[in-house]
């Protein structure tokens, strides 16, 4: 792959995707007072007649979206990731259980909300939505992949949860490569044969940094953007397990129930692949810059390097 370029935040990609989807008159957008932050405000400005702003009422937003879905609309609803958790029961019983298709987006996920502190840092959202039967769960790594994967939800037959981030990250894709992305299929960003790094969201760029350093030390590390946590690309994981000495997962999320858990659940049936997990341990976050928090929580590219080296040795 070519060298990463500086891009926007994945939430910007979500906003851009909504504008692309606007050509389909079935698409409606719902907000819970945070359209400027989630970037759904772009759709609202262009199509106010198909935008419903419900104020600080996340549970109501989910059920209104469910009603619109049952009436033939394709609803995209968004708020902060931490606030989507208020509507978990409504997603479970009002959307997924009756088989309705609602696409929920949670922005500002993970510890990258930084100085907002632990009350605003959703480190369990991916785990929550993974547990709901039939739910698709995604966490894109940059603005272009977030845009492409969101656009693909137009024809998706399952409800979904997509987590986006506030912070700008290096682009892992360009206009051509992002078109190859598919929901449910991991994307190999870097080939490698010694160890495989499987990551999602803002940790993908950290994984690329780790792989570049490992290469300088004679270690060949594959890097996979596992943007879809559910359904998980099990075939790709099997290929990596067959060719590499071990797997390291990296995520801005609790190591309990997130990407690492998803990969470990699959690998448990094999019993022959050592792995390490980089993420938030069994604790809450705290206030600080993203860089400070990643350092204190052991989530930098250096921590990924250490885990890879321990597997290879």
What is the set of active-site residues? 58
Cβ burial, residue 236 (10 Å; 0-12/13-18/19+): middle
Residue pair 286/293 in contact by the 8 Å Cβ criterion: yes
Contact in structure between 304 and 251 (CB atoms under 8 Å): no
Rounded CA-CA distance 295/93 in Å is: 39
Tokens 């079935």 found at: 26
> Which of 286, 285, 283, 276 lies closest to 308 in space, CA to CA?
276
- Count of alpha carbons within 13 Å of 17, Cβ hemisphere only? 27
Residue 230 CA: distances (Å) to CA of 132, 214, 240, 243, 257:
10, 29, 18, 23, 12
Rounded to 5 degrees, what are φ and ψ at 175?
-60, -30
Which residue matches tokens 């997603």?
A: 91
Judge whether 258 and 279 are in contact, CB under 8 Å: yes
Copy the structure tokens of residue 246: 């071990």
SS3 of residue 135 by DSSP: coil
Count of Cβ atoms closer than 10 Å to residue 157 Cβ: 8
Q: Count, in order, helices (H) and strands (E) of the chain.
A: 13, 14
Q: How far is CA 312 from the centre of its chain?
A: 28
């Amino acid at each position: 792959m070519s060298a990463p370029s500086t891009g926007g935040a994945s939430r910007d990609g979500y906003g851009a995707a909504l504008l692309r989807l606007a050509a389909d008159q079935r698409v409606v957008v719902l907000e819970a007072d945070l359209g400027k932050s989630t970037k759904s405000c772009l759709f609202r400005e262009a199509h106010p007649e198909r935008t419903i702003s419900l104020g600080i009422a996340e549970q109501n937003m989910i059920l209104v979206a469910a009603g619109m879905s049952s009436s033939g609309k394709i609803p995209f609803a968004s708020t902060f990731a931490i606030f989507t958790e208020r509507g978990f029961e409504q997603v479970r019983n009002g959307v997924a259980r009756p088989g309705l298709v609602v696409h929920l987006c949670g922005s500002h996920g993970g510890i990258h909300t930084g100085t907002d502190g632990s009350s605003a840092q959703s480190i369990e959202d991916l785990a929550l939505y993974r547990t709901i039967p039939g739910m698709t769960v995604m966490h894109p790594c940059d603005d272009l992949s977030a845009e492409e994967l969101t656009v693909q939800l137009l024809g998706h037959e399952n409800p979904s949860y997509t987590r986006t981030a506030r912070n700008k990250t290096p682009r892992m894709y360009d206009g051509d490569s992002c078109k190859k992305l598919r929901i449910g299929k991991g994307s190999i960003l870097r080939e490698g044969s010694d160890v495989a790094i499987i990551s999602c969201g803002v940790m993908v760029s950290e994984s690329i940094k780790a792989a570049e350093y490992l290469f300088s030390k004679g270690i060949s590390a594959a890097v996979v953007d596992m943007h879809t946590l559910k359904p998980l690309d099990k075939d790709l994981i099997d290929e990596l397990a067959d060719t590499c000495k071990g797997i390291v997962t990296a995520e801005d999320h609790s190591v309990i129930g997130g990407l690492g858990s998803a990969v470990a659940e699959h690998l448990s049936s094999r019993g022959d692949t050592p792995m390490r997990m980089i993420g938030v341990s069994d604790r809450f976050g705290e206030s600080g810059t993203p860089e400070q928090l990643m350092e204190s929580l052991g989530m930098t590219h250096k921590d990924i390097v250490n885990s890879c080296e321990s597997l290879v040795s």
